[in-house]
Structure 1
Amino acid sequence: MASNEASKRFPPIVPEILDSAQKEVHNYLANEIGQYFQGIFTIQDSKTDALIGPYTHFLYLPQPVASGYFINGSSLSKIPDFPLRCREIAILAIGEHYNAAYELYSHVRIAKKVGLRDEQIEDILRGKCPTGGTEQELVSWEVARALMTVKGPLSEDLWGRAEKAFGKAGAGALIHYSGFYAYTCVLLNGAAVSVPEGESIWPITA
Structure 2
Amino acid sequence: MSDQHPVDQDPARGRVVGGRFPLLDPTQLDAAQQSLYDTITRPPRTDGPFLVVDDDGHLAGPFNAMLHAPAIGEALQSLGSSLRFGGHLPARTRELVVCTVATILSSDYEWYAHSRVALEVGVDEDELDALARGEIRPSLSSAEAAALDLATALLAGRGVDDAVHASAHSHLGHAGITELTVLVGYYQTLAGLLAVGDVPAPSRPPDATPG
- Please classify the TM superposition score into its range, dividing by the shorter chain length: 0.7 to 0.9
The equivalent residue for 2:37 is 26
1:139 Cα shift?
1.1
| 1:165-204 mapped onto 2 (5 Å cutoff) | 165-196=171-202, 199-203=203-207
Task: Give secondary structure in 1 for the equivalent of 2:27.
Answer: helix
Contact 1:129 1:142 in 2 (8 A): no
2:130 is matched with which residue? 123
Determine if contact 2:66/2:74 at 8 Å carries over to the other structure: no
Question: Cα distance, 1:150 vs. partner?
Answer: 4.8
- Asked whether the equivalents of residues 93 and 147 of structure 2 are also in contact (C-alpha less than 8 Å), the reply is yes
Secondary structure at 1:17's aligned position in 2? coil
Uncovered stretches (5+) of structure 1, i.e. residues with no partner = none
Q: Structure 1 length normalisation: TM-score? A: 0.84
Indicate the residue corresponding to 1:156 in structure 2: 162
Structure 2 partner of 1:111: 118
- Is 2:169–2:177's contact at 8 Å kept on the other side of the alignment? yes
Following superposition of structure 1 onto structure 2, how do residues 34-45 of structure 1 map, counting pairs within 5 Å? 35-45=44-54
How many Å apart are 1:20 and its aligned residue? 3.8
CA drift at 1:128 = 1.5
Q: Offset of 1:73 from its aligned partner?
A: 2.2
Larger helix proportion, structure 1 or 2?
Answer: 1
Report how many residues are paired. Answer: 193
CA deviation after TM superposition for structure 1 residue 16, in Å: 2.5
Residue 10 of structure 2 aligns with which residue?
none
**Is contact 1:144–1:174 with CA below 8 Å preserved after alignment?**
yes
Give the whole-Å Cα distance in 1 for the aligned partners of 2:26 and 2:178.
Answer: 39
Task: Please list the CA deviations of residues 47-81 of structure 1 after superposition, one character each: whole Å capped at 9, or x if unmatched.
Answer: x12112111112221x221110122223335443x
Aligned residue number for residue 106 of structure 2: 99
Q: Is the 8 A contact 2:97 2:147 kept in 1?
A: yes
CA contact (8 A) 1:53 1:195 kept: yes
The reply to whether residue 52 of structure 1 matches residue 56 of structure 2 is no
Name the SS for the 2:41 alignment partner. Answer: helix
Tell me, in whole angstroms, the C-alpha distance in 1 between the residues paired with 2:32 and 2:181: 34
Q: How far did 1:92 drift?
A: 0.8
C-alpha separation between the residues in 1 aligned to 2:87 and 2:172? 11
Partners of 1:182 and 1:130 in 2: CA distance: 23
Q: Which amino acid aligns with 2:45?
A: Y
> 2:65–2:193: 8 Å Cα contact kept in structure 1?
no
8 Å contact from structure 2 (residues 107, 194) kept in 1 = yes
Identity %: 25
Q: Map 1:135-150; keep pairs closer than 5 Å.
A: 135-150=142-157
Corresponding letter in the other structure for 1:2? V
Q: Which amino acid aligns with 1:52?
A: A
TM-score, normalised to structure 2, is 0.82
Q: CA–CA distance in 1 between the matches of 2:180 and 2:137?
A: 16
Distance 2:68 2:157 in 1: 34
Note the residue ranges of structure 2 that are not aligned, 5 or more in a row. Answer: 1-14
